[in-house]
Homo-oligomer: A and B are copies of this chain.
Amino acid sequence: MPKVDRRIAKTQEAIKKSILELMNEKDFDNITIQDISDRANVNRSTVYLHYLDKYDLLEKMVEEHINQLKETDEWACQEEWIDATQIFFEYFEKHFLFFSTMLASKGAAPSFRSKFLEYVMDGFKDELQKTNGKSEGLSDDVVVKFAANAYVGVLESWLKDGMPSPPKTIARELGILLERIL
**Min C-beta distance of A7 to chain B, whole Å:** 9
A interface, size bucket: under 10
Minimum CB–CB distance from A3 to chain B (whole Å) comes to 13
Q: Which residue of B lies closest to A10 (CB)?
A: B41
The answer to whether the Cβ of A132 comes within 8 Å of any Cβ in the partner chain is no
0/1 per residue, A1-45, Cβ < 8 Å to B? 000001000100000000000000000000000000000011100
Chain B residues with Cβ under 8 A from A41's Cβ?
6, 10
In the assembled complex, which residues on chain B have CB atoms less than 8 Å from the CB atom of A10?
Answer: 41
- Give the complex CA separation of A72 and B132 in angstroms: 73
Taking the closest CB of chain B, its distance from the CB of A48, in whole angstroms, is 16
- Closest Cβ neighbor of A14 among chain B residues: B10
Residues of B within 8 A of A42 (CB): 6
Interchain nearest-CB distance for A46 vs B (Å): 9
Docked pose: A61 CA to B42 CA in angstroms:
24
Nearest opposing residue in chain B for A42, CB measure? B6
Nearest CB on B from A10, distance (A): 6
Residue of B nearest to A7 (CB): B7
CB-CB contacts of A71-104 with B at 8 A, as 1s and 0s? Answer: 0000000000000000000000000000000000
| Interchain CA distance A41-B43 in the complex, whole Å | 19
Q: How distant is the Cα of A43 from the Cα of B42 in the complex, in angstroms?
A: 19
Q: How distant is the Cα of A41 from the Cα of B41 in the complex, in angstroms?
A: 16
**What B residues does A43 contact at CB under 8 A?**
6
List 4 A-B residue pairs with CB atoms under 8 Å apart, sorted by A's residue number: A6-B41, A6-B42, A6-B43, A10-B41
